[in-house]
Amino acid sequence: MWGRSFCPNCKCELKIVDLIPLFSFIILKCKCRYCLQKISYQYFFIELTIGFLFVLAFLQHQIIDLLLLRNLFFILVLVFIFVFDLKYYLILDRVIWPAFFIAMVINLYLGFGIWNLVLGASIGCGFFLVQYLISSGQWIGLGDVKLGALIGVMFGWQLTLLIIAIAYVLGGLTAIILLLSKKKKFGEILPMGTFLALASIIALLWGEQILYYYINILGWQM
């Protein structure tokens, strides 16, 4: 997170011109300028995805203000958690806690109620803590417990419930597909943080509409 970016192969420090998202990758023909080692396509796709999500967030919001900047920051954090948990089955404290405090401060400044955030964090954290304790850390890791707290302060309690629901639907569908295609065996662990991060991005972009839609459908049926 800190320090200058460098090539993972030759450790050469990268210059500004090597760090322009997407363009540097294309101009350098996906090779390191210094050692000519191939650069992973992963960087390109992550930059492309973040760019795409930034555009979506802007189109939804239309004006540049603190709420939009907050959402762009959330997207960066969530994409990082998505990729890192997928690759390494890890959710880093040095990402979670700074994000937690920044989200808390911005949301309070934006007028979120403190109890909404506290309740959100308690639900997010509590939901996973119970599973962590029952399973002695077999089903999910402590990282998911902390991520639950982070999601709570990012989104408040209502969207946190929605995010948990979406994450389990996505995780369940993925598990079924992987089991059917015999890529995973039953009981093999899936990175929960990845699904939570994806569900959070969905909630960030369309959460209000999904909640509104649900409340209307339920209200109409009753």
Among 9, 42, 135, 216, binds Zn ion (CB under 5 A): 9
| 19: contact with Zn ion by CB under 5 A | no
Range in contact with Zn ion (rule: CB under 5 A) among 29-37, 132-140, 148-156, 161-169: 29-37
Residue with tokens 């322009």: 20
Among 35, 64, 134, 179, binds Zn ion (CB under 5 A): 35
The letter for the amino acid at 135 is S
Range in contact with Zn ion (rule: CB under 5 A) among 26-34, 68-76, 137-145, 157-165: 26-34
Query: From the CB of 12, what's the least distance to Zn ion, in Å?
Result: 5
Among 24, 25, 32, 81, binds Zn ion (CB under 5 A): 32
| 34: contact with Zn ion by CB under 5 A | yes
| 7: contact with Zn ion by CB under 5 A | yes
Do residues 191 and 83 make contact, with C-beta atoms less than 8 angstroms apart? no
3-state helix, strand, coil in the chain (%, to 5): 70, 0, 25
Using the minimum distance from each CB to Zn ion, give the nearer residue, 35 or 189.
35
Query: From the CB of 37, what's the least distance to Zn ion, in Å?
Result: 5
Using the minimum distance from each CB to Zn ion, give the nearer residue, 28 or 202.
28
Which structure tokens are listed for 29?
A: 């023909």
> What is the distance between the alpha carbons of residues 91 and 81, in angstroms, rounded to a whole number?
6
Query: From the CB of 36, what's the least distance to Zn ion, in Å?
Result: 7
Range in contact with Zn ion (rule: CB under 5 A) among 35-43, 91-99, 138-146, 209-217: 35-43
The set of residues, in sequence order, having a beta carbon less than 8 Å from that of 36 and lying 6+ positions away, is none
The secondary element (H helix, E strand) that includes residue 38 is none
Which of 157, 78, 154, 151 is CA-nearest to residue 115? 157
Contacts 24+ apart (CB under 8 A), 3-7: 7/32, 7/34, 7/35, 7/37, 7/39
Using the minimum distance from each CB to Zn ion, give the nearer residue, 9 or 209.
9
Range in contact with Zn ion (rule: CB under 5 A) among 7-15, 44-52, 83-91, 152-160: 7-15
Q: Euclidean distance between the first and final Cα of the chain, in Å?
A: 50
Which of 124, 132, 130, 129 is CA-nearest to residue 152? 124
Range in contact with Zn ion (rule: CB under 5 A) among 4-12, 48-56, 78-86, 142-150: 4-12
Q: Return residues touching Zn ion (CB under 5 A).
A: 7, 9-10, 32, 34-35
